[in-house]
Chains A and B, each alone.
Chain A
Amino acid sequence: MNAQNKTKDMNHAGEPLLRMAKRDGVSLKKKIFIRAAAILLALIIDALFIVMVTDLNPIKIYGTMFIANFGNKLKIMWMIRDLVTLLIVGVALAPAFKMRFWNVGGEGQILMGGLATAFCMIKFGNSMPSWLLIIVMLVTSVLCGALWAFIPAFFKAKWGTNETLFTLMMNYAATSIVACATNIFRGDAPMFTIINMGSKAGWFPMIFGARYTINVIVVVIFTILMYIYLKYTKHGYEIAVVGESENTARYAGIDVKKVMMRTMAISGAICGLSGMLIVAGKDQIISTGSADGRGFTAIIVAWLAKFNTFYMALISLLLVFLQRGADEIASAYGLNDYAADIISGVILFCILGSEFFINYKLIFRGGKAND
């Protein structure tokens, strides 16, 4: 550590003030320390912001954020509901992003799955037994989501189109289709309301006092399955190789185009499934806002977790915690929404920023190089 101190008396006048150096092999202890320091720093900055701008007691604000998530049983359940809804989209996007396929079309794939579910609920709500209805909903939503993701993958495989633009455009198409469909669904009614309000056909059954219990179970299962799929199956291995280098994949005899289309179909299928969970298990309605930006937020979830689905659960928890906390303080203290967003934004910024310090170290002018 101090072997370099001998050179301390050197003339450092011309050295740049700040330099970066890459480091690897950071110990787990240090990683935890850096992240903890980041959260502490965020809380301090936020406290300053709160005191200076709102004149409120920061400790109380933090307390409110905590209570918003963990205050009572119901709040915990809602927090879990939001968490799994975000997590399943992250799980869906993970294989695509691991393959370095920029699927920014999660939003559209969720909407198409949700729309398929809503369509089945309205169309077959009165004519099918509920077990059959749910199976039909499942199949159609999964197929619609998969199709919505397969189209850009097919075009990329065949003609080398840019997947980022293509999947993004598919979002707008899906949003318009949903807007159009809801107008048709409502018929002469002044607005499109909860589907099958009376018969509750196609709604998930109540389990443990909540309709979204099935959502939680399904998401937990898929989180585990996706972990296994990516880590231990041949498909998962192919995805990893294609993501790292297409040339290596070709060298190994992997059919890159096939893997690309297959993986995107899987990614879209799970997005479609999440659409069904949102409509049948959570909202019982479809609208252009049903996906609520999760198709984009989940990209952060997937990348930050480096495609490990269990880490994804932790990151989803953090994001949902901040979101629910910000909403709560905005209403409880009559704060502007933006002020609440700044508070949660600072926390997120510091945590993301800490990743930089885990990968790099800074050397100040005249500083030791190996610290």
Chain B
Amino acid sequence: MMNGEKLVFSVFIIYNEISVWGLYMEKALEIRNITKRFGEVVANHDVSMDVRRGEILSVLGENGSGKTTLMNMIAGIYYPDSGQILVNGQEVSIRSPGDAYALGIGMIHQHFKLVDVFTAAENIVLGLHEKGRQDMKTVTEKIREICDRYGFDITPEQKVYDMTVSQKQTLEIVKVLYRGADILILDEPTAVLTPQETEKLFGVMREMKRDGKAVVIITHKLHEVLSVSDRVAILRKGEYVDTVETADATELSLTEMMVGKKVELNIDRPEPKDPIKRLEVSHVSCVNKEGVTVLDDVSFDVYGGEILGIAGISGSGQKELLEAIAGLQLVSPASKITYYQPDKEDTPENLVGKNPRKIKEMGISLSFVPEDRLGMGLVGSMGMTDNMMLKSYETGRSIFTERKAPRELAENIMNELAVVTPGINTPVRRLSGGNVQKVLVGREIAASPTVLMTAYAVRGLDIGTSYTIYHLLNEQKEKGVAVIYVGEDLDVLVELCDRILVLCGGQVSGIVDGRSTTKEEVGLLMTKRGDKQ
């Protein structure tokens, strides 16, 4: 009996293997000479690549290299200016996401497209145009089947607002599987996940591959590429570089192809020199507009001459914490944020209840590089000069603004940080992400701060610009500035920061030493609520 079962099982496996092999060389998707422009910007130029059935293909490239644009053309969100797309060897025209679904192409976007107040099942059937009455029972049944097969931990009746980020992403995956997609595109799926959740997602992707599906993952994290994919297609500045077998690739070889030149992968970390306490954050709590507690009794100290990293899954309270210190966020009455001015350490000042202008008037030089660069840190429609004025325009008694000093500052920043712009009066919105960030960081550093807070300072930046930013932060640290670095890339956090504070659900779940900790330790803390419940 046992033997018979084993035999059937092995035949099944062999059959599966053969069918997978049979499919292996078949191209599920082929892209030929695709070009896409946005105004003057060439997002993709003459890109050709293919995806096979039963493989995981990584599309690797720095931010702005055109990965997402390329995939959006396959998913029917953009239409290429020229070039062809072939699905199963047939040339197709994908004019809308509906067309893409009909061809079995499903994309899981970086930003979830879900309705919060609907259940999982309702979200899945949303937008399906099936004739007749929708029988939720069969829908639910089919969803259960998919979930069981891949071991997904969501139930069809669960409301989206009750889901964790990882569950929402799972739901997005179920959604495309439900629609029968056999070509799946995942756009930076791991950006919002903890290392543990990432591992789980990779498990699911391998399962899909075994099912003969073609899986494409967009990422710029090298270790993920190496651990999950079979082949890697590399894009650089909108152009296709090459496709290589993952087995033959190393982190260094991929980086070289991605960046186009050899780069130093190590980040400097000078020893802090006589750290002095600059900020003392104690018992800071805050509730957002929806009545959710976003910061829960947060306490820590910040020292001059060190970089304090803040890690956490996005939305764990990082934004509110920095805004509270900058005077942009209302905090509960028990909160205290004490600032120690250099040479006046014995007369500390409380920053709670003061707005940014009051803080400035107290003679405190607090610089803040917010997460939303064009929505908070800069004015997109203004040029560099006018953006320099943002923090200094009200100085002096004249009713008129003074533009000479800001213009000189803008020119200095443009030259020193090599900002690529047609001119200092070109609206900063037209600059690339990296150059926008250089303008913002440049201005904040030019104010010679005693405390410098940065939120996701290198998000979306290419490796070269990222290193420029790390270097600038280290320079500030060596000058004795207290630097707070909110980051999402754990590799960078453990290499750059002297201490790392980990937030989880608005609470401090741990403060670890950057030199002795590991990525795994920080990753675990990111999902562990603090002791105070």
Contacts and interface: CB of A to CB of B under 8 A. Distances in A.
Contacts of A16: 79, 95
Nearest to A247: B376
A237 B39 contact: no
A241 B430 contact: no
Nearest to B372: A247
A250 B354 CA distance: 12
B531 interface: no
A62 B326 CA distance: 62
A369 B381 contact: no
A253 interface: yes
Interface string A2-14: 0010010011011
B360 interface: yes
Interface string A217-253: 0000000000000001111111011001101101111
Interface string B311-324: 00000000000000
Contacts of A10: 82-84
Given A10-B84, A22-B38, A251-B368, A233 B390 contact: no
Interface stretch (B146-154, B272-280, B298-306, B393-401): B393-401
A164 interface: no
Contacts of A233: 399-401
B37 A21 contact: yes
A151 B451 CA distance: 41
Number of chain A interface residues as a range:
35 or more
Contacts of A25: 39-40
Given A235-B399, A237-B389, A370-B37, A251 B382 contact: no
Given A10-B84, A14-B92, A248-B377, A232 B401 contact: yes
A7 B33 contact: yes
A123 interface: no
B401 A4 contact: no
A15 B35 CA distance: 14
Interface string A119-133: 000000000000000
B355 A253 contact: yes
B459 interface: no
A186 interface: no
Contacts of A75: none
B83 A7 contact: yes
Given A244-B382, A248-B375, A369 B40 contact: no
A37 B80 CA distance: 30
A250 B379 contact: no
- Counting chain B CB atoms within 10 Å of each CB, the highest count among A25, A233, A251, A369 belongs to A251
A255 B356 CA distance: 10
B205 interface: no
B95 A234 contact: no
Nearest to A244: B379
A239 to B, nearest CB: 12
Nearest to B93: A14
Nearest to A370: B37
- Counting chain B CB atoms within 10 Å of each CB, the highest count among A7, A10, A248, A254 belongs to A248
B82 A250 contact: no
Contacts of A370: 37
A234 B372 contact: no
B378 interface: yes
Given A233-B401, A248-B378, A15 B93 contact: yes
B432 to A, nearest CB: 14
A194 B428 CA distance: 55
Contact of A234 (B81, B91, B399): B399
Nearest to A4: B82
B370 interface: yes
Contacts of A236: 401
Contacts of B348: none
Nearest to A16: B95
Nearest to A238: B393
Contact of B379 (A11, A14, A241, A363): A241
Number of chain B interface residues as a range:
35 or more
B204 interface: no
B40 A14 contact: no
Interface string B352-368: 00011110100000001
A22 B328 CA distance: 35
B375 A245 contact: yes
B380 interface: yes
B391 interface: yes
A24 interface: yes
Contacts of B378: 248
A15 B91 CA distance: 12
Contacts of B82: 4, 7, 10, 369
Contact of B356 (A11, A13, A241, A250): A250
A241 B380 CA distance: 10
Contact of B360 (A21, A237, A253): A253
Contacts of A14: 91-93, 95
Nearest to A11: B91
Contacts of A244: 379-382
Contacts of A240: 379, 381-382, 386
A232 B400 contact: yes
A338 B81 CA distance: 44
Contacts of A22: 38-39
B394 A24 contact: no
Contacts of B79: 15-16, 19
Contacts of B379: 240-241, 244-245, 248
A245 B393 CA distance: 17
Interface string B11-54: 00000000000000000000001010111100000000000000
B74 to A, nearest CB: 14
Nearest to A23: B39
Interface in A136-187: none
A237 B356 contact: no
A262 to B, nearest CB: 13
A245 B81 contact: no
A65 B394 CA distance: 50
A256 to B, nearest CB: 10
A318 to B, nearest CB: 26
B97 to A, nearest CB: 14
A252 B93 contact: no
Contacts of B401: 232-234, 236-237
B369 to A, nearest CB: 11
A252 B391 contact: yes
Interface in B56-76: none
A13 B84 CA distance: 12
B39 A248 contact: no
B400 A234 contact: yes
A343 B89 CA distance: 56
16 contacts: A4-B35, A7-B33, A14-B93, A15-B93, A19-B79, A21-B39, A25-B39, A233-B399, A244-B381, A245-B374, A245-B379, A248-B390, A251-B356, A251-B376, A255-B357, A369-B82
Given A7-B83, A248-B390, A251-B326, 5 more contacts: A19-B79, A240-B382, A241-B379, A245-B376, A253-B357
Interface of B: 33, 35, 37-40, 79, 81-84, 91-93, 95, 326, 328, 355-358, 360, 368, 370, 372, 374-382, 386, 389-391, 393-394, 399-401, 430
9 closest A-B pairs by CB: A14-B93, A253-B357, A369-B81, A253-B356, A7-B82, A247-B376, A252-B390, A244-B379, A251-B376
Interface of A: 4, 7, 10-11, 13-16, 19, 21-25, 232-238, 240-241, 244-245, 247-248, 250-255, 363, 369-370
